[in-house]
Structure 1
Amino acid sequence: MYKNLAGSAIVALAAACFLSPSFSQPKPAADPLKIGFVYVAPVTDAGWVRQHEEGRKAVEAALPGKVKTTFVENVPEGADAERVIRDLAQQGNKLIFTPSFGYMEPTLKVARDFPDVKFESVTGYKAAPNVATANARYYQGRYLAGVAAGRMTKTHIAGYVAGFPIPEVLQGINAFTLGMRSVNPKAQVKVVWLDAWFDPPKERDAAMTLFNQGVDVIAFHTGSTAVMAAAQERGMMAVAYHSDMRKVAPDAQIVAVTHQWGGYYTQRAQAVLDGSWKATSVWGGVKEGMIRVGDFGPKVPKAVQEEVLARQQDIASGKLQVFRAVADVRDNEGKLAIAKGTSLRDDQILTMNWLAEGVQGRIAR
């Protein structure tokens, strides 16, 4: 009888195990986090958008099966951007990256209508409960590139093809000029404004105009590789921006200022996955690995490379601060911009509206 009872108990236990939820088949894996990216220009081999595309790919590689990403390229700032951002939210993307300054207001507008979606306004500065802001200290890389340009120039005149006169661009022009003049006090920087972020023909024309004015090394803050190609064609020197551009300008490139977004994007996606996402404001640079200078071209002597890399280490350690004045720094109209022995605060850097002594040009209004 004991044997029969034991057998009955085993059968009952087996039935209970079969029926109990705790012994049921594992639940299917959660749906992957859908992440959208909006790009202001086409995806090309190098440039601003290429670096964000590399960041998107880094997220997928770091979080396989946990995320599903998509992107829309060549989206103009303004009404088109709002429409695309809204479409991505409606399609179920719960994290949306909008990496362009002109996407800031459209992002905020859409975010108000989708409070359960997280937005990352990259290069924007206005936040909301579901809108974080992030940017990189590009000016740190610009200073280092200026050191290289100052060592390499023979004419002591550099060119700078610039998109729009927003603080980020002005920071870069001034840092580049300060870097040049730290090793070459005679250096001058000629600026051409384009009123466009991505317009390869205009970028090329501006570069050619500058070369005709005695410029032998050129930098730029636009979205394509046109300036690099122009430098290669003319036998001049150029500073690559956003990406390594030696594929386009193998002889012209002296150094590249590259942006590294993969780590930040992956961190923010993981935060959404684990429920720790907050509307933070991040402004990282060399120290945080978001800006890197390197990829030297064949014309650059080893001593110059070592000097630039040593300065990069000084920035990472805090020993060198780009906008800390060893001597009075004046703007190109003679007004005191940074007094000797003082540094600009972050809020002053973020609202920069002047051009440094040595810059030939005016802020386009």
Structure 2
Amino acid sequence: MLLLLAAFTTAVQAQTTSPTRTYWTNIQIPGYTDDATGVNYLILHRSYDNVPMDGYFVMGKISAIRGHIGAWNRKWTIEVNTASAHKSDRGSLICYNEPAQLVTLRYNGVKYLAVSIQNSSTLTEFSFTGYIQYPAFEIVKESQVSEVALFRSGDPVTIAGNLVVDDNGSKIPTGDDLSMNAVIVNTSKSGAITVAAPTTQESIFAGHHMTFFSPNFQGGMGISIGQHNSGFIQAFSNTTENGSLFLNPNGGGVGIGVHDTKGYRLAVAGSMIAERVVVKNYQNWPDFVFAKNYQLPSLQEVEAYVNTHQHLPGIPSAAAVKEKGIDLEEMNSKLLQKVEELTLYLIQLDKENKELKAEVKAIRSALQK
């Protein structure tokens, strides 16, 4: 009878599925986490540490429970797919109940891949089901480890087909909708999608349908739909709703109503309106007109040029403007130059006028004698 029971227990704990790998069922992981005291870690297996190594891996599901009678009985479930071999680490992690992260750390001088566990109520009854090779499977405290670093070389987690997020029960989108969209969000909540980095949300700007948030940079970005089919994109911080929004700061162009920006940073197909436009000028502002050595064209020269070309010297023709448009910075500079030249002409005319008045006065005085 005892032999039969032992055979049955072995079958439950392990099932050989291939000549090289064993599928384990409900392996108990000893230990428990602190009760709301610091971050804890579940060590998976050794990590690459600058020395070529044999294959270490953990591929399967790990679960545990927060609390029992008199507590909130919160479930904790993750799917782990990690491996360390030769000169590299690979891995991905899926969390079902609360955020968790893959990290590397040192414990008793050895570098490991591990899962960080949030600071909360005590987590107990850890168990694993899946494939393993040389696992560590130990719960350690924050004070016991060092050199904790987020594991960033994770493999992608993909979904072949559509992803549906729904909290309305019978209002799941139809098959036609699913065939047209990769991600379907059907929710009655105030926000539809939140992308948070790292994994904790501290202060999300209310009202956005999609929010990108990063506490590391003290800000984020919200995308929302307003009234009358309008929408807006807004940068914000943890303490204010206002912030700077940069569109493609590293290069390229932005087109509004147009795909080809013709090499410009911003292209708009249609009209624009603004309360104020500031153009930073990098050219020589035409104060040179007032320099003593400036050669002011005579009015006769200007008249001859206009008669020949039908536009002022230095000003583009109507045909050129129609073909190439105008540069506001350049055009304002040229127009100011013409205003300054007109001022010099007026000064000259004023001097000549005063001289003529003086001559007329002298002539009249001589005639009266």
Instruction: Report the TM-score when normalising by structure 1.
Output: 0.20
State TM-score, norm by structure 2.
Answer: 0.20
Pick the structure with more strand per residue.
Answer: 2
Q: Which has the higher contact order (CA 8 A, sep 6+)?
A: 1
Greater Rg, structure 1 or structure 2?
A: 2
